[in-house]
Amino acid sequence: MATLLSDRTGLWAMLVLVCCGCTKAYAQCTDSVGMDDVPALTRCEAEVLSRLGGTWPNVEGDEPPVLSFRNGNSAVKVDKSYFFQKIVVPRLPNDQFIALNWYALTVAEKQATGVDAIVVAWSKIGLTERRKRKILRELGYSGKTT
């Protein structure tokens, strides 16, 4: 189930993805996800995220999306291998609940950071504007966020 919500200030949109069930078809792809820490998604990783629900940035395009992976309410940076192997894959066969939020970056933010989106797992509050600014600074963006 995917729901498009805007934050309190209406400055950017948040897509909340929740998956409960629908995991039997992942078996072939789940063996090869999160095998490296290159931030660009492979086709299999993009397929697993797409099947969780929603439309992920550039999944259909020729260039794979580059994501910054985060975990928890404080959005601590995690490697892609940890994200898939410890957070996503173990919960798929058991039909366990997975809560993922992704935040698409603006063109200026993408150009400055080299990242298409920020993905946060297991965050009850999502990303506040302040936390988003802090993450963008960590990624090398020094401009204003919108």
* Residue 100 maps to a domain: yes
Domain of 14 in residue numbering reads as 2-138
* Residue 123 maps to a domain: yes
109, with CB counted inside 10 A (0-12, 13-18, 19+), is: buried
Model confidence pTM above 0.85:
no
Q: Give the count of domains, the chain.
A: 1
* Residue 41 maps to a domain: yes
* Residue 47 maps to a domain: yes
* Residue 144 maps to a domain: no
Using one digit for the tens of pLDDT, what is the confidence trace for 22-62? 344 455 677 788 889 988 888 888 888 877 765 665 545 56
Using one digit for the tens of pLDDT, what is the confidence trace for 98-127? 788 888 899 999 999 999 889 888 877 778
- Ramachandran angles phi, psi of 89, nearest 5°: -60, -45
Alpha-carbon torsion (122, 128, 130, 135), positive or negative: positive
* Residue 143 maps to a domain: no
* Residue 129 maps to a domain: yes
How many angstroms separate the CA atoms of 123 and 101, rounded? Answer: 8
